[in-house]
Amino acid sequence: MNQIKLALDWTPNINHIGFLVSHELGFYKEKGIDIKIISPNSDDYKYTPAKKIELGQADLGLCPTESLISYRTKKSPFKLIAIATIFQEDVSAIAVKSGSNIKSPKDLDNKSYASYGARYEDQIIKKIIINDGGLGKIDIFYPERLGVWESILKGKYDSTWIFLNWEGIEKPEFSFFKMKDYGIPYSYSPLIVTSENYLKKNEIGLRNFLKATKKGFMYALENSKQSTDILFKHIPYNDKNISLLKALNFSKKYFGDEKSFGKIKLDVFKEFFYWINSHGIENHKLDVNNLYYDIDF
């Protein structure tokens, strides 16, 4: 068996359903893979999935496009590379409580934002405010990563960045602002990434991993109840009240189908990188073609 360690980007949620289904139903074993799924609550998010790959603690990880760019442009570059995406388009948004006089991003001026502390995150948040006609003056705070959403629910901060198919499910008391509606061509999140070195040595194993992963996600599309029952066993106690069936139904159209699941479109990378470059968010030059590797699975 080929052991593969996969670091999740967050505690188990709807974005991870295909991995958990493939694990429990033996799809990985069918492909000769002994999968180990690492949740960030195992170390209280001390290290991001990308950092775990760099440190050799994980072979694969889930992260946004920003991590690919960040790791290749930091002081000591690390060749992180994407091999697949979970969603065909962005399913994230900025969340604010309805009735808070925040009707659009410009109203976030002089309000508060709970940040995850990602390298480009705060600048992107300021840009969405500016693009809506505001000044981009927002107070940014950094609560513990695993407690960000809870801090919003308790009203400690005015806004944060969430997944519509998870935190956004059944939240009529919230309003959501999507990046694309305010001139920001946000890219893929999360991506399945690995190191360039691991890819060179394990391309066949990674192809089998992706085949098994796709089988899990495709199974979830057709077997909602069985799949959400598997997911329910893994999600944190605080998330047990989320309707997993509604979360899955929301997500289905974004996962793609047997042909499109996981496929990365280079133009999506290029547009986002051009945007952060042209707005001075990232000043390094980078060959975007090197950010992903197209494995046929």
Q: CA 272 to CA 90: how far, in whole Å?
A: 12
Cα–Cα separations (whole angstroms), residue 282 to 74, 131, 227, 277, 294: 10, 18, 40, 5, 25
Locate 33 and state its tokens. Answer: 């893979």
Domain boundaries, the chain: 2-88+188-291, 92-182
- Give the strand pairing for 60-63 and 191-195: antiparallel
Separation CA 135–CA 3 (nearest Å):
50
Tokens 């707005």 sit at which residue?
A: 279
Multiple choice CATH, 2-88+188-291, 3.40.190.10, 3.40.50.620, 3.30.70.260, 1.10.3720.10: 3.40.190.10
Question: pTM of the entire structure?
Answer: 0.96
Strand, helix or coil for residue 275? helix
Instruction: From residue 29, give the alpha-carbon distance in Å to each of 1, 25, 32.
Output: 8, 9, 5
Rama region for 136: left / alpha / beta (φ>0; ψ in -120 to 50; rest): left
Question: Peptide bond before 172: cis, by omega within 30 degrees of 0?
Answer: no
Q: Is 92-182 the same fold as 2-88+188-291?
A: yes
Homologous superfamily (CATH) of 92-182 is Periplasmic binding protein-like II (3.40.190.10)
- For 42, residues 6+ apart whose C-beta sits below 8 A from its C-beta are none
Per residue of the chain (297 residues), what is the pLDDT tens digit?
A: 899 999 999 999 999 999 999 999 999 999 999 999 999 989 989 999 999 999 999 999 999 999 999 999 999 999 999 999 999 999 999 999 987 899 999 999 999 999 999 999 999 999 999 999 999 999 999 999 889 999 999 999 999 999 999 999 989 899 999 999 999 999 999 999 999 999 999 999 999 999 999 999 999 999 999 999 999 999 999 899 999 999 999 999 999 999 999 999 999 999 999 999 999 999 998 999 999 999 999
